[in-house]
Amino acid sequence: MSTQHVEDRGLLRFLTCGSVDDGKSTLIGRLLFDTKAILADTLTAIEKTSSKRGMTAVDLSLLTDGLQAEREQGITIDVAYRYFSTGTRKYIIADAPGHEQYTRNMVTAASTANVAIILIDARKGVLTQTRRHSYLTKLVGIPHVVVAVNKMDLVDYDQATYDRIVGEYKAFADQIGLTDVRFIPLSALNGDMIVDRGERLGWYDGPTLIDILEAAPAAHTEKAESFRFPVQYVCRPQASDDPALHDYRGFMGRVEAGEIKVGDTVTVLPNGLTTRVKDIQLYGQSLPKAIHEQSVTLLLEDEIDISRGDMIVAAGEAPTQSKQVEALVCWLSETPLSPARTYWLRHTTREVKAKVASIAHRVDINTLANDSASTLAMNDIARLSLKLAQPVFADSYSESRATGAFILIDESTNNTVGAGMIV
């Protein structure tokens, strides 16, 4: 009996966002329910909760609204992550909050996503929050956008309503520079066009939502990437009783972009010395190569002084080394940014002291206007120039999210106060 090979399309991280009560949590619940990703005891629990509330149908939004405060208000106020698999692909869903005051949560959720599902209530059309989340999606570099016109059941599955919303959104997408946008009508409550097509959207001949997600490219697969390996830890056992480990010197870390093979020539930053990869190890086993998002240990042919915070890159493909960076920063802290203060900037595994040299402008995410600013409050997004005590080895965020992003840390409290994207 022959077994049919099932293609693994790789892990897909995607984000759901939209205005309050657009049905994000219900959509995710429906995805989990229709893909049989809910455990029996979980389903029983939400059935009981739904019954207590006097609901005739199961409230699938309970699968994502994990905080009691959220349940009481019927809204999502924090990022909820859920995982499921279809047999051909694994998924991580980030359910972002809809309110403006939770912009920082939205940016956090979007930072690793490769697809954004922007929900629009068919009764309300394109709202300010729709535009805000679309702009943030563009800002954090999510390459693929799916506009899901939800609650079609409440407008009698009217095609004219759907077409009007699509036309309005397309005009806005052109304005902010969103290029890869797909549209789909659906009803998360009834399950139309989520996994099953249903019978009430016969005029729509496009793919279902799960079909779109199944075909979406995974991260790191759409363009050639330069090899980036920030060193996290230098492994030197120096075991006197084991001659094989006496001179062992391995550099542990995560391949943030690209791939590396045994024998490849690499450059070590910041010293700029060049050598070759002698071995690639994972759990003590040798590998012929390592690819993006894989945590491995690299052994090099030559003895080179390397420490945490250094970066190993492919020879001839070094990123820019700079002691000043231009970046878009989302301020996360309740304490306003102070240009007079010194912050720690953590970029990959490297930490350097940083000061704000200038604030070019603050972005009004409702109007998309650039306003002058001398400080930043929580949830503000602004373009900054930062002066650094030591150089970082950075790509632009558009080229590489991992090496184009950083966080700012308050040196007195050790709290993360800002998230930045290098331009």
φ, ψ for residue 392, nearest 5 deg: -115, 160
pLDDT in tens, 288-307: 999 999 999 999 999 999 99
pLDDT in tens, 223-279: 889 999 999 999 988 666 677 777 789 999 999 999 999 999 999 999 999 999 999
What does the alpha-carbon distance between residue 95 and residue 91 come to, in Å, rounded to a whole number?
Answer: 13
Domain map of the chain by residue range? 12-215, 228-314, 320-422
- CATH class in words for 12-215: alpha beta
CATH topology of domain 320-422: Elongation Factor Tu (Ef-tu); domain 3 (2.40.30)
Alpha-helical (H) ranges within 2-152 are: 24-34, 40-52, 68-73, 103-110, 128-139
pLDDT in tens, 349-407: 999 999 999 999 999 887 888 999 999 999 899 999 999 999 999 999 988 988 999 99
What is the helix, strand, coil percentage profile of the chain, to 5?
Answer: 20, 35, 45
Please give the average per-residue pLDDT across 341-346, as a whole number.
97
The torsion of the CA quartet 41, 46, 49, 53, rounded to 10 degrees, works out to -160
pLDDT number for residue 64: 59
Report residue 1's pLDDT band, with 50, 70 and 90 as the boundaries: very low
pLDDT in tens, 308-329: 999 999 999 999 899 999 999 9
Q: Which two tokens stand for residue 272?
A: 């700029």
What does the alpha-carbon distance between residue 152 and residue 189 come to, in Å, rounded to a whole number?
Answer: 10
Please give the average per-residue pLDDT across 183-203, as a whole number.
93
pLDDT number for residue 105: 80
The pTM assigned to this predicted structure is: 0.83
pLDDT number for residue 63: 61
pLDDT in tens, 66-123: 444 444 444 444 567 888 888 889 999 988 776 666 778 888 888 889 999 999 999 9
Please give the average per-residue pLDDT across 195-218, as a whole number.
94
Query: 228-314 in CATH: which number?
Result: 2.40.30.10
Q: Does the pLDDT of residue 217 top 50, yes or no?
A: yes
Q: How many CA atoms lie within 13 A of 114 on its CB side?
A: 18
| Greater model confidence, 65 or 330 | 330
pLDDT in tens, 129-174: 898 889 889 988 899 999 999 999 999 999 999 999 999 999 999 9
State the Cα angle at 195 between 190 and 197, rounded to 5°: 70
Q: In the chain, what's the furthest Cα-to-Cα distance?
A: 78
* Within this chain, domains 12-215 and 320-422 share the same CATH topology: no
Report residue 35's pLDDT band, with 50, 70 and 90 as the boundaries: confident
| Helix or strand run (H / E) with residue 162 | helix 159-176
What does the alpha-carbon distance between residue 62 and residue 349 come to, in Å, rounded to a whole number?
Answer: 37
On whether the CB atoms of residues 333 and 415 are closer than 8 A, the answer is yes
